[in-house]
Structure 1
Amino acid sequence: MASIEFREERCKGCGLCVLACPKGLIRISSSLNLLGYPTAHISDMDACTGCKLCAEMCPDVVITVYK
C-alpha cells in the first residue's frame, strides 16, 4: 500500500498532479494554504498504486510518495 504526503504550505494549486494521476485520485481542495493557494489532496489513499507520476509532475516538489 502506498502513502502520499503533500506539503500544503508549498502547494500552488497548479493541478499538474491532478492531470498526472492515472486513477484520478488527486483533487484540488477548496481550502487555502497560508499563501492563499488552493491545495492538492488525495481522495482515496487506499486506491493509490504508488506510481509516483504526481510527484514527478509537481514543479514545486510538494508531493512525496512512500511505498
Structure 2
Amino acid sequence: MDKKLVIKPEWCKGCGICVAFCPKKVLGLENGKIAILDGDSCIKCGQCELRCPDYAIYLKEV
C-alpha cells in the first residue's frame, strides 16, 4: 500500500522537531506551523510521525 503524508495544522505547535529529523528536508515551518515544502522528495520513512510530540503529522495508507 502507498502512504500519504498528512498534517493536522490545528494540533501543530510549531516546535520544528519533525523538520529537524526529516532526512530529505521535505518539511518546513510556515507561519509557525508545519508545512510540506517538497512532497515529491518524501521517502515516507515515518521519522516525522515518530518524533512529533503532538501527533500533528502522520503517514496515512491510501
Match of 2:60 among 37, 44, 66: 66
Gaps of 5+ in 1: 31-37
For 2:4 and 2:42, the matched residues in 1 are separated by 8
TM-score w.r.t. the length of structure 2 is 0.86
Instruction: Spell out structure 1 runs of 4+ moving beyond 6 A.
Output: none
What is the root-mean-square deviation in Å for CA atoms of aligned residues?
A: 1.3
2:19 is paired with a residue whose SS is helix
Q: Percent of aligned pairs with the same residue? A: 35
Aligned-pair distance for 1:46? Answer: 1.4
Deviation at 1:24, TM superposition (A): 1.0
Q: 8 Å contact 1:2–1:65 — kept in the other structure?
A: yes
Which of residues 23, 40, 56 in structure 1 aligns to 2:50? 56
| Alpha-carbon distance in 2 for matches of 1:2, 1:46 | 12
